[in-house]
Chain A
Amino acid sequence: MTVRVFVPKDSAAVSVGADEVADLLARAGAQVVRTGSRGMLWLEPLVEVETDRGRVGYGPVTAEDVDGLVAAGMLDGAADGLGPVEDLPWMRAQQRLTFARVGLVDPADPDDHERHGGLDGLRAALAMDPADVVTAVTDSGLRGRGGAGFPTGIKWKTVAGAASDLKFVCCNADEGDSGTFADRMLIEGDPFTLLTGMTIAAYAVGASEGYVYVRSEYPDAVAALRTAIDAARGRGWLGDDVLGSGVAFDVHVRVGAGAYICGEETSMLESLEGKRGTVRPKPPIPALEGLFGQPTVVNNVLSLASVPTILAHGADAYAALGVGRSRGTQVFQLGGNIARGGVVETAFGISLGELVETFGGGTLTGRPVRAVQVGGPLGAYLPVERFDLPMDYEAFAASGAMVGHGGIVVFDDTVDMSSMARFAMEFCAEESCGRCTPCRIGAVRGVETIDRIKAGANREADLVLLEDLCELMTDGSLCAMGGLTPLPVRSAIRHFGSDFGIPVTEEAR
């Protein structure tokens, strides 16, 4: 009998040679199944062999390793490897709900999805009253995973209560934040879960059309999603009569065009309408006047992909995890200069240090960690002294930081934090939509001011000026782009003042 081996098709795995490995294994006689990635990206390409002990892992496997491993009995699970993948400490220490099937199933195979319980949440939802679905999502405590952390159920209730013949569900997959890649991995590894999450949202609020706005930098995710949508239509999971319930809902893919700002929800709506991706002032809120002026649910990929597990296993089970007002799990992403990078899905409340050191194993270079940036390019830089911070929306906000989309980027002690602060302003200047002055002009002035601070001629006065500018951008910008760019800048100055030529005192820490 032919042995089944699993090789990720996730673009991160492919970026380090998974396609070549898969080809060689197929030539060696194995039946190769292409899956998503388990998220242990430092082990990619990670090959899993089906055995009676479960799926036994080998990794990282390069094309040059394949012949030797096959000769040593890899295809019987006999060669020395990592052992059963599910038993690896990195996997066992997680609570995978949203990512339960990522890395396990063939993302192009609807049968595989259904066999692994992928439709349980949708079936449960369709058996309930739509208002009860909204209540379940509210009771689960789910908050927007895109970064803002707004309660998903409240948003849905607003859309459900709006009177309109036409409502939309828009999924924000414009994952432009550096250090975040969980949206991409979910779409590439388990796209049906996103589609069922969107369908549940549509049923709950009475929407008939869905759009997924995927960034163009993710061509593999776009392809995986289109394949899944075609398959879902073929199965009647999408279309005029979803699972025979009489509910009509269909999903369309829209591809972004290289504008970071389109990850901001109102810019995304403008872009979906075929316009320049400029930010809309709020109110009106998109829940009432969103896409083409109609009531619209706008949720991040991970928010929507968390909904099926909530409906399948109950709001209480989800809400039982987490701390304070941060309920359930978050898919954390470890990137940058890190020994063991990847995704870790676990309940809120885990400490920053545990993620970076226990899961991540410190830096890739082996040098000491100096700084981590949490929550993307608009998130704060934190020193190791803050590694005790629990991953919790409120705890981070109280420390002048943000959890954001759960991305953590690690830097070693060679980093120059004044350069990173400058980059934050440079990035804002490059990506500002131009609609409001504090962001459009402020970011340019920010770069200039930081350059003068680095040159050091009139440092104290320039630091005061920069602080003034940061205050203005925070208070005066139309959206989070200009409003949060001061977060990395100010936190870099506060925690790493020596890089700006500021004498370091103990209390500055």
Chain B
Amino acid sequence: MSIEAPPGLVDEVVNRAVETHRASRGALLPILHAVSEELGHVPPSVVPVLADRLNLSTAEVHGVVTFYRDFRTTPPGRVTVRVCRAEACQAVGAEALLEHAVASLGVERGETTPDGAVTLDEVFCLGNCALGPAVQVGDRLHGRVTPARLDALIGQAR
């Protein structure tokens, strides 16, 4: 089960992100990354707050949050498993690997298991094209991933 961050924590995280990055040029992306890193997502409630602090319109901030795949508006599972399905990994069985992941986790791409443990997603290229199929578990890259190895990695991460 995913847990919403308490409002006090959200305010604290947003303040810290804004103070750290507001002097940077084009600060919105670094700020959104900082918020996302701490909370796992960008709660919709922070959009008007950021707009106010950065002197942008709510629409501009909302537009940026929704443009980029990395900025989720809902909390992810405790670990995110991303299966590469770009061409190089497809050449060595990525599509079958993703199908296996969907079947064994019982969720579709972009979804989180009901126990809140694992979010499954697709990704287009992890830069491991000579050692595919590639999978990213959290920030850690794995190569030559077979269905059995994927099950083991997910088991360890749970």
Using CB atoms and an 8 Å cutoff, list the residues of chain A in contact with chain B: 11-12, 14-16, 41-42, 44, 175-181, 184, 209, 216-220, 252, 254-260, 271-278, 292, 333-338, 341-342, 364-365, 373, 377, 407, 409-412, 415, 420, 423, 427, 430-431
A277 engages B67 (CB within 8 Å): yes
Q: Report the separation of the CA atoms of residues A504 and B88 in the bound assembly, to the nearest whole angstrom.
A: 26
The interface residues of chain B lying within 8 Å CB-to-CB of A178 are: 86-89, 124-125, 129
Interface residues of B in 90-118 (CB under 8 A from A): 90-92
A15 to B87, Cβ gap below 8 A?
A: no
On chain A, the residues within 8 Å of B68 by CB distance are 256-259, 277
| Known A11-B141, A430-B124; 9 more pairs at CB < 8 Å | A175-B127, A178-B88, A220-B141, A258-B123, A272-B29, A335-B91, A341-B129, A364-B92, A415-B91
Interface flag for B134 (CB, 8 Å): yes
Known: A41-B130, A252-B24, A274-B64. A423 touches B90 (CB 8 A): yes
Main secondary structure of the interface of B (DSSP, over half): loop
Contact A179 B141 (CB under 8 A): no
Most buried by B among A252, A258, A333, A423: A258
In the complex the two chains form, is B127's CB within 8 Å of A184's CB? Answer: yes
Residues of B within 8 A of A176 (CB): 124-125
A-B complex: 9 closest residue pairs judged by Cβ atoms: A341-B130, A335-B129, A178-B86, A258-B69, A257-B68, A274-B28, A15-B143, A336-B91, A274-B26
Most buried by A among B28, B69, B130, B140: B130
CB distance from A335 to the nearest CB of B (A): 3
Q: Chain B residues in contact with chain A, CB under 8 A?
A: 24-30, 32-33, 60, 63-64, 67-71, 86-92, 123-132, 134, 136, 139-144
Which residue of B64, B70, B88, B90 contacts A216 across the interface (Cβ within 8 Å)? B70
In the complex, A16→B28 CA distance in Å? Answer: 36
In this complex, what residue of A is CB-closest to B126? A217
Query: Which residues of A lie under 8 Å from residue B134 when comparing CB positions?
Result: 15
| A11 adjacent to B91 (CB under 8 Å) | no
Cα separation A427 to B132 with both chains bound (whole Å): 19
From B68, B88, B144, residue with most partner A Cβ within 10 Å = B88
* 16 A/B residue pairs, CB under 8 Å, sorted by A: A15-B128, A15-B134, A16-B131, A175-B127, A176-B125, A217-B125, A252-B24, A257-B29, A257-B69, A260-B124, A271-B26, A271-B29, A275-B28, A333-B129, A337-B92, A409-B91
Closest to A372 in B: B91
Shortest distance in angstroms between B41's beta carbon and chain A's nearest beta carbon? 13
CA distance A271 to B71 in the complex (A): 14
* Closest partner residue, chain B, to A376 (CB atom): B87
- Which listed residue, A275, A377, A412, touches B87 by the CB 8 Å rule? A377
What's the Cα separation between A256 and B32 when bound, in Å?
A: 11
> Please, which residues of chain B bring their CB within 8 A of the CB of A256?
68, 70
